Amino acid sequence: MNLKSIIQAGNPILKQRSIDVPLDKINTAEIQSIIDDLIFTMQQVHGAGLAAPQIGVPLRILCYGFDYNPRYPKASAIPLTVLINPVILSFSEEVTDEFEGCLSISTLRAEVPRYKKIEVKAYDRIGNEIIKKVQDFEAKVVQHEIDHLDGILFVERIKDFTHFGFTAELQKQGVIP
Ligand code: NI
């Protein structure tokens, strides 16, 4: 597995819709190697999640999960998860606004509204269909990463620009941990 560089905002790769992985290709060496690189890179840079287009691969693959994440020190552990061709089946009426960031826009944080709970259908890395209900921080991560697959960056979701700034300054002000 290889450490990939994270594509930064401004690169058009991050603004395109990624394409579905053909199901009969999930178990190929090529796709498995992309998944290994995605997980390894996420872990090396302490991401909460990472989407394939962020390492330059325009396929609908994302991963997330960590034991402890220094970027989000208050977040509880989430098991390592890979979602291929994820689709949101349903979402809660309740929406919560919390600060989030992105490795492709690494110095900025902003409050972004996300559904509190979602149900998502996807395939795991061996090609089994899975349906998961996720909530709270995990639901935010999944929505953020699926947005990457659709070419949407979190800054496009900001509704209130009074809750937006550089990570270091927001930490200095005590707004984020
Ligand atoms: Ni991101």
Residue 149 pLDDT greater than 90, yes or no: yes
Q: Which residues contact 159 (CB under 8 A, 6 or more apart)?
A: 97, 111, 112, 113
Distance 146 CA to ligand 1 centre (A): 9
Distance 93 CA to ligand 1 centre (A): 24
Q: Which residues are catalytic?
A: 145
Q: How far is CA 165 from CA 101, 121, 135, 155, 168, in A?
A: 10, 34, 26, 11, 9
CA gyration radius for the chain?
A: 15
What is the C-alpha separation between 173 and 177, in angstroms, rounded? 10
In the sheet that holds 95-101, the strands lie side by side as 95-101, 108-115, 164-166
Tell me the pLDDT tens digit for each residue of 150-174: 999 999 999 999 999 999 999 999 9
Reported pTM: 0.97
Tokens standing for 119?
């149900």
Distance 64 CA to ligand 1 centre (A): 11
Distance 9 CA to ligand 1 centre (A): 10
Tell me the pLDDT tens digit for each residue of 68-107: 999 899 999 999 999 999 999 999 999 999 999 999 998 9
Mean pLDDT confidence for 122-131: 98
